[in-house]
Amino acid sequence: MSSQTPTAPPIRRIAHLDMDAFYASVELLRYPQLKGLPVVIGGGRRRVDEAIRNLPEGGTLADIPVDSFPLLKDYTGRGVITTATYPARQFGVGSAMGLMKAAKLCPQAIILPVDFDEYRRYSRTFKKIILEVAPLMEDRGVDEVYIDFTDVPGGQRDGGRSLARLLQKAILDATGLTCSIGVAPNKLIAKMASEFNKPNGISVVYEDDLENLIWPLPCRKVNGIGPKADEKLKRFGIETVGQLAARDRDWLVANFGKATGAWMHEVSWGRDSRPVVTESEPVSMSRETTFDRDLHAVRDRAELGAIFTKLCEQLAADLQRKGYVGKTIGIKLRYDDFKIATRDQTIDRFTDDAKTIRHTGGLCLKRVPLERPLRLLGVRVGALAKAGSPEALAPAGSGTHRAAAEPVATTASLF
């Protein structure tokens, strides 16, 4: 212990920044004429792309007449809504809703395809701006980041509010987009706080605010408590974070398991020591696709085989482009009843080769029942290593060797 600190150490201040209605806002920058109208984004790309392609020639995107955009009522096919503008939400349309159902609720809504490339461009821009100010930033997807304000100049002023305001302005100036920021003692609370004042808001939360601001919230607001855990908590009469905090740690462990129970106890008391992580390596990469119609392993064998090959080629290209190799190859099926089956197999050397993935994936497919119609097929490569790294170059077969599980006898020599 030293006795020489004349100034108090900085208090841990973590920010969570969340772009407001990100996809929809980016689309409205492109198509300002759609402002105030019900718009949904999502759906099978091909069909909507076609509709967009048929828009009149000439001028800029902003000149395209509103009445030439595709409407939800004319849309046919599968798919879900990725996001909807507020005018669309007033009709009860929302994320993850099937497009057919949405079309009944709001047939006049304009439907736009998801354009991830464009969202990623904006994503890179706003993250670059943040990094210029605060170097400790954790990427949490295309529209979200955590930022460690603790040691950033000005990061302690007003509990972080000044810095948050500065970031909001810099991002708005550069992109025309607004965001909401929560600043708190840790990531858990910061994440909740960023939702307090949406859109374009700032919320600053201190440790002392736990009881007033966090405990009244429904458990579902905790990042990590999803629909299943929430339902189970409700069955025990636990609706709010405060009610969760009132439960005994041992009781939570007994009812939710060692890790989850202990974690629930910690979060309910606002405790979270996870650092802001600036770099991470991917664990797996995958490609999957939902078919336009359900396919059958026997009747649609050729079509399925072609789709599978294409997925493997796309995945291999992804790996090569990003510079990774992997040694656990897996497949995923979704049946017409929405049940999912997965199979994995670890091979004895790292690969990013489409043929190897295709072959090993084919072996996995032989181990899965193929009687029911399928609606989705996916392929995945895990246990990744950087291409060319010592690990990736290690001699094959150095690990434990084990025979793959016996193939289930099915119709599936097809693949």
259 binds DNA (CB under 7 A): yes
Three-class secondary structure assignment of the chain: CCCCCCCCCCCCCEEEEEECCHHHHHHHHHCHHHCCCCEEEECCHHHHHHHHHCCCCCCCHHHCCHHHCCEHHHCCCCCEEEEECHHHHCCCCCCCCEHHHHHHHCCCCEEECCCHHHHHHHHHHHHHHHHHHCCCEEECCCCEEEEECCCCCCCCHHHHHHHHHHHHHHHHHHHCCCEEEEEECCHHHHHHHCCCCCCCCEEECCHHHHHHHHCCCEHHHCCCCCHHHHHHHHHCCCCEHHHHHCCCHHHHHHHHCHHHHHHHHHHHCCCCCCCCCCCCCCCEEEEEEEEEEEECCCCCHHHHHHHHHHHHHHHHHHHHHHCEEEEEEEEEEEECCCCEEEEEEEEEEEECCHHHHHHHHHHHHCCCCCCCCEEEEEEEEEEEEECCCHHHHCCCCCCCCCCCCCCCCCCHHHC
Q: Are 148 and 110 in contact (CB under 8 A)?
A: no
Among the listed ranges 85-93, 174-182, 236-244, 336-344, the one in contact with DNA (CB under 7 A) is 336-344
Comparing CB distances to DNA, the nearer of 10 and 199 is: 199
318 binds DNA (CB under 7 A): yes
Could you say which of 57, 118, 144, 239 is catalytic? 144
Comparing CB distances to DNA, the nearer of 67 and 337 is: 337
343 binds DNA (CB under 7 A): yes
Q: How far is the CB of 290 from DNA (least distance, A)?
A: 3
- Please select the residue that binds DNA; options are 32, 92, 135, 282, rule is CB under 7 A: 282
Q: How far is the CB of 395 from DNA (least distance, A)?
A: 15
124 binds DNA (CB under 7 A): no
Comparing CB distances to DNA, the nearer of 14 and 64 is: 14
76 binds DNA (CB under 7 A): yes
Q: How far is the CB of 302 from DNA (least distance, A)?
A: 20
- Please select the residue that binds DNA; options are 58, 117, 208, 228, rule is CB under 7 A: 228
Q: Is 144 a catalytic residue?
A: yes
162 binds DNA (CB under 7 A): no
Q: How far is the CB of 295 from DNA (least distance, A)?
A: 13
402 binds DNA (CB under 7 A): yes
Residue 18, marked binder: yes
229 binds DNA (CB under 7 A): yes
Site map 183..222 versus DNA, x via CB under 7 A: --------x------------------------------x
Residue numbers belonging to the annotated binding site for Mg(2+): 18, 143
Catalytic residues: 144
Please report, as ranges, the residues that interact with DNA according to CB under 7 A: 76-80, 82, 95-96, 98-101, 104, 140-144, 191, 222-230, 257-260, 282-290, 318, 328, 330, 337-346, 364, 367, 375-376, 378, 399-400, 402-405
